[in-house]
Amino acid sequence: MKRILIAFFAAVAFAGGAMAAGGPAVDLAKAPGKTTDMAALQNGAKVFANYCLSCHSAAFMRYNRLADIGLTEQQIKDNLLFTGAKVGDVMRASINPREAKDWFGANPPDLTLITRSRNTYSTLGTDYIYTLLRYYYRDETKVTGWNNLAFPNIGMPHVLWELQGERKPVFEKRSSHGHEINALVGWEQVKPGTMSTREYDQTISDLVAYLQWMSEPNQNRRVAIGAWVILFLGIFTVIAWRLNAAYWKDVK
């Protein structure tokens, strides 16, 4: 429990740093809710293991817990284990933390609780991550060669660029509250990726669904139990109301 709390507050600190560095500069897109879609969660786990786990750990999630989303132990071994880890091990990044700090300026944060840590009073962490991973664009002025509209001057390179390809944002000058602003109106595809825009967005939604599930693997069970509890309380309220009426019917 102590380790989980440490990871949570570390992720919150990272989120706060991101907001201080500029925060979302665009309206956040709504992430599709897929935490009950086993196929989406399995695909998200595959994308996470192939593209995220090389730099980002999920140190409070064990590989064998992926059985909860329908993967067998053999499927986990064949498709998700690349660094000699065992099925019962936690999901640790293969990168050296010191090298990561030298390359990116900071050690990449643990992602176990990243969607929850990005929640604010007005936005959801899932929407932020969904927007972030779709709003990269090529920027040769940056060391990594990439920038991001949702997190300006981001230190993380676009690790999924081969899937999405290279794009650049298209802006249009508009008037807002008496001021002229550059409003994002679309994207221009500079170089195609291995996926279409629709396929890439689908893949990112699967990845975000997996990150959301990983932050609380019992959430679907909790919601289901909560629905039954509310139903029970509703029925019990009706019974208690009628029983009270029966007890007091002769009292004047």
Q: Are residues 6 and 76 in the same domain?
A: yes
Which of 116, 3, 115 lies closest to 59 in space, CA to CA? 3
Which of 226, 204, 209, 199 lies closest to 69 in space, CA to CA? 209
Q: Are residues 132 and 91 in the same domain?
A: yes
- Do the domain assignments include residue 171? no
HEC per residue, 168-210 = EEEEEEEEECCEEEEEEEEEEEEEECCCCHHHHHHHHHHHHHH
Number of domains in the chain: 2
Longest dimension (CA), the chain: 85
Note the pLDDT of residue 124.
92
What does residue 199 show for φ and ψ, rounded to 5 degrees? -65, -40
Q: Are residues 236 and 156 in the same domain?
A: no
Q: Are residues 238 and 202 in the same domain?
A: no
Yes or no: say if 130 and 29 are a contact pair by the CB < 8 Å rule: yes
Q: Are residues 228 and 160 in the same domain?
A: no
Domain of 123 in residue numbering reads as 2-164+195-217
- Do the domain assignments include residue 180? no
From residue 183, how far is each of 47, 110, 146, 186, 204 by CA, in Å?
A: 32, 33, 20, 9, 24
Q: Are residues 159 and 239 in the same domain?
A: no
212-252 tens-digit pLDDT: 999 999 988 888 899 999 999 999 999 999 998 888 887 76
Note the pLDDT of residue 9.
37
Q: Are residues 206 and 245 in the same domain?
A: no
Give pLDDT < 70 ranges for the chain.
1-25, 252
Note the pLDDT of residue 115.
92
Note the pLDDT of residue 161.
94
Structure tokens at 22: 């500029």
Q: Are residues 136 and 110 in the same domain?
A: yes
Q: Are residues 249 and 211 in the same domain?
A: no
Q: Are residues 115 and 144 in the same domain?
A: yes
The CATH number for 93's domain is 1.10.760.10
